[in-house]
Structure 1
Amino acid sequence: MTDDAKKRAAEAALEEVRDGMTLGLGTGSTAVHFVRLVGERGFDVRGVPSSDDTAALAQEVGIELAVPDETTRIDLAVDGADEVDPDGHLIKGGGGALLREKIVAQAAERFVIIADASKRVTQLGAFPLPVEIERFGWGLTVRALREALAAAGQEGAELTLRPAKGGSGFALTDGGNYIVDARLGRIHDPAALDAALTMVPGVVTTGLFIGLADRIIYGTETGTENQDVR
Structure 2
Amino acid sequence: MSAVFQVKDLKKHFGGLAVTNNVSLSLAPGDRLALIGPNGAGKTTFVNLVTGVLKPDSGQVLLGGADVTPLKAADRVRRGLIRSFQVTRLFPDMTPEEHVALAILQRDGQSGRMFGHYSSRSRVMDEGGTILRQLGLHDLAHLKVREIAYGQQRLLELALAVALRPKVLLLDEPAAGVPQSETALIEEALDRLSPDLAVLMIEHDMDLVFRFAKRVIVLAAGTVIFDGSPKDVTQDRRVREAYLGSYADASNVA
Q: Calculate the TM-score normalised by the size of structure 2.
A: 0.28
Which one has a bigger Cα radius of gyration? 2
Q: Calculate the TM-score normalised by the size of structure 1.
A: 0.30
Richer in helix (by share): 2
